[in-house]
Amino acid sequence: MPRILKITEDGSHTLYVTDLDETYHSNHGALQEANHVFIKNGIKRLKNYNINILELGFGTGLNPLVTLNEYLKNENIHSINYFTLEKYPLDLEEIEKLNYSQFFDREIADKIPEIHKAPWEEKAEISKNFYLKKIETDFFNLEKITLPAIDLVYFDCFGSQVQPELWEEPLIRMVSDKMAFNGLFTTYSSKGSLKRILKKLNFEVEKLEGPKGKREMINAWKR
């Protein structure tokens, strides 16, 4: 899957997939989008001390990076188990070109190689009580994967205009089945069809202000 490195408006990198005509992150800023959708409207909304996170998908590793950054600053979080699915991992050359280290303190920047070099299919302790397990698989294999009850879902798939099947009920139901009661599903999308699916699956759906470049995004609580 050919990919081209691009700089977004906030200076952070994303990748452009030529075959899909789609980027991994918002062109308005990869870092600002990750912080807005998955930190401000994700982990910061939970009151859990121990958090199980499921991400679809790993991509450039930016979401676990901003999550680790928040974890190390937030004394109320005791531990994180972070599970992430990715069908097309980056190669070493692509990883080495990413510029994320310049946006974080040295303590976080030094963890970037550990996040990417952590072995696939194994649980790795990236920082004390912050565990990462990367799983190389298609998202539709989710139902076959054994996970603890998930408190927080980062639904960060490619957009519905290029991969509509990822935003339809079969995958959303698989995700729901892995979630704990009162678990939070957060995504950059505000699709009407996604809201209807989530409501059908007994989620309480909220429309929130989106990241820069998007008017709205979705939070949904499993009830």
pLDDT digits (tens, 9 = 90+) for 13-52: 999 999 999 999 999 999 999 999 999 999 999 999 999 9
Instruction: Specify the pLDDT at position 138.
Output: 98
In degrees and rounded to multiples of 5, residue 110 shows phi and psi of -70, -15
Domain spanning 30-222, CATH architecture = 3-Layer(aba) Sandwich (3.40)
- Checking phi first, is residue 11 left (phi over 0); if not, alpha (psi -120 to 50) or beta? left
Q: Which residues of the chain have pLDDT under 50?
A: none
The structure's pTM equals 0.97
pLDDT of 1? 74
Please identify which residue in the block is written with the tokens 């927080």: 152
- The Cβ-side half-sphere exposure at 81, using a 13 Å CA radius, reads 10
Spatial distance between the Cα atoms of 122 and 108, rounded to a whole number of angstroms = 21
State how far Cα 135 lies from the chain centre: 13
CA atoms of 61 and 12, how far apart (whole Å): 13
